[in-house]
Amino acid sequence: MKIAITGGTGFVGQQLTNALVKQGHKVFILTRSPDKHTETDCVYYIGWLSEVYQPEKSLPKLDAIINLAGDSLFGYWTKTKKERIINSRIRATKNVLNLIDSMDQKPEVLINASAVGFYGTSETESFTEQTTVSGNDFLAEVANVWEDTAKHANEFGVRTVFARLGIVLGKDGALPLMAMPFKLFVGGKVSSGEQWMSWVHIHDVVGIIIHAINNKNIKGPINVTAPSPVRNIEFSKHLAQVLHRPYWLPVPSFAIRTLLGEMSILVLKGQYVKPQKALSNNYTFQFTKIDTALRDIF
């Protein structure tokens, strides 16, 4: 297949590209800086998001587009930062839609990234793709706007999938930041430790996305999470064990709020999300337990 990826130079995008190439596919990475990258026989870099570039003239007929582009959530959430988070996702997604519109032969599927933040936070409720009422915090707003923009691909006859990512665990991304206190011998639960963490190993993120490309029954939201969410206290204990470090110093919530501001919701709150659609469409998880996932990574 021929597959285009936006955000292809990021953590998830790189892992996805490597997996697709190993399967024999050709990958076209849409980037603002195509000249900074070296092409191979299977990976091509196409300029976009600038009037200088005309990606529609450089791309072949595509089988799929995967849209991962968007400004990082990490950083103090000032008004300007929050605008960048939302506007970067809207702009990239609208450009993907314009690209599809310009194509005589449309791709079969658009996989558009989203997040389990769609559901809001809770320590008592559980969420699946059948949950249609979203949360009311900033992360839910971001997910809603992102999905509402991407769903217009349906108007072109393109099957559209919203990949609602959980906490992606791998050698890059959020896990190194979470592991740092433990490596410095000051690790422990965060706040009460009761907040749910709907995690997923990077290998399963890649696996579910590829499964969604190949499975025409999958459309709309799909939760990209492992089938066994854990509370922060359990996650922290397993992380300490894997790193051979003590688990003894709880981090108070007021310290996290002081340090991170509104972004502290990423650490202090969570949601219990089940990957019902992936399981019902016969996806086989490589990592279902947090201890084996962490051992594999470290």
Task: Name the residue ranges covered by the structural domains of the chain.
Answer: 2-297
pLDDT in tens, 61-101: 999 999 999 999 999 999 999 999 999 999 999 999 999 99
CATH level 2 (architecture), domain 2-297: 3-Layer(aba) Sandwich (3.40)
CA 133 → CA 140, 164, 221, 227, distances in Å?
10, 14, 13, 21
Structural contact between residues 283 and 225, judged by C-beta atoms closer than 8 angstroms = no
Query: What is the distance between the alpha carbons of residues 182 and 93, in angstroms, rounded to a whole number?
Result: 38
Tens digit of pLDDT for each residue in 184-215? 999 999 999 999 999 999 999 999 999 999 99
pLDDT tens digits for range 221-237: 999 999 999 999 999 99
- Cα 166 to Cα 247: distance, rounded to the nearest angstrom: 24
Tell me the per-residue pLDDT of 93-126, one tens digit each, with 9 for 90 and over.
Answer: 999 999 999 999 999 999 999 999 999 999 999 9
